[in-house]
Structure 1
Amino acid sequence: MNNRLKSGLLAAVLFSMPVVAFAQQYTVYFNQNGKLTATMPSVAYVRQYKIAAGKAQVQDFYYPSMKKYSDPYEIPAGQIKVFVPALDNGTLTLWHFNGQKKMVGSYRNGKPHGEWVNWYPNGKKSAVMPYQNGLSEGVGSRYYRNGVKESEIQFKHDKANGHWKQWYSDGSPKTEMMMSNDKPTEIISWDENGRIVSELSIRNGKRSGIILDWYDDGAKKSELVYKDDQLVKKTFWDTDGYVLE
């Protein structure tokens, strides 16, 4: 190989190295509401990214501490200004300011897929939602900050179908509903003392059943009976247990 050819090859290698090793890094800023901003006093998050082949290699940070808000991820370059972008494929992991994990969710073909989990800053789980090709599918749950389950819903094809249960923060039952395509068909509700306050069925949007009210000592205060959304009977009691006329 002659010296001129060697020199040309060496120059080509040296010229290309900075482009590969030191791809230009860009920065955009977002406010607390996830909106783009160029006003530094309003900046809450910083996005740093590099572009290659139409894809952006991204990581988000809190500002001004520069603590990580996300793990690195890849998105289409066109989504770089969207605060909560949709990945083509892969996992999006977010972090609270205190370093506790905030959210983990996976994408497949640009849609949420698999189990998405959220956590409170105290490290306790706040929500779980299963997805299949972008649709809610399975049992989704929410939790109070103390770790007690707040609600549980069965989803099918992105709609509530089946049981929807709710609990008070002490774990006692609050509401239980049967759902059909996002609409309740049966409802039972309890107060914080465990007393039933309503027991209803719903057909064609009309309620049938009873609604109850109680005195603090546990004695019944009133009972309303409905049929097809019409009040057909009502009974009231005084504090001594006598029916009021």
Structure 2
Amino acid sequence: MKILVTVKRVPDPYAKVVPNTAGTDIAREGLQWAINPFDEIALEEAIRIKEAGKANEIVAVSIGGDECQEQLRTALAMGADRAVLIQITEWLDPTSIAHVLTRIYQREQPQLILMGKQAIDTDDNQVGQMLAALLDLPQATFASKIHIENGTATVERETDAGIETIRVPLPAIITADLRLNQPRYVALTGIVRARSKPLEVLPLAELGIAPQVRVRLLAVERPPARQAGKRVADVRELVRLLKEEARVI
């Protein structure tokens, strides 16, 4: 079984992200970058499935500029067998990303696509569902446990009502939640091996697709500053403030 895993380059979760001076994007100079944490969880799950003898190849794919090779090399060091970078020169919205991934699916013909439920930079939570619709494949979102057996995937997913268990036939698309696993640290031996693993770079034009971007980034700005809180002397004063100033009672 071949598993395709998406790997998005995002700002490091612990980095301080601010708008650039023009307010058109985030300030990128000196910013640390990483694999989207949800995608990293999806990759770890793919590796565990392979280690269990239920897959024989893991392909990591990223869509972006040449700088995304850094994150793909990390994916190879973790345990992916090969990587594919789809080069783009402009920002793509979730619909466009999903259309590009359909061509990768047609090219690779994986039996399972694993991806993070969302990216931490845009928080869209859309690509997995859109891709499933475009490919007419079964999907399981927000996975907290995955079991592969006899051409099917049994997935536990967290909902507001509790844990839901569903079974989908393969090929299928599964998006990973935080509780699915804890990604491994990249070992030095993995870093060394990654240097010899194939990383293919494909210009978007070679896929024969020209996505029509429907959403454009207009501006990036800081959230408004929060007003300082007030210390109250007693419950009577608190009730008065809630009634007269906050107007919630």
TM-score by length of 1: 0.22
Q: What is the TM-score with the length of structure 2 in the denominator?
A: 0.22
State the structure with bigger RCO (CA 8 A, min sep 6), 1 or 2: 2
> Which is helix-richer, 1 or 2?
2
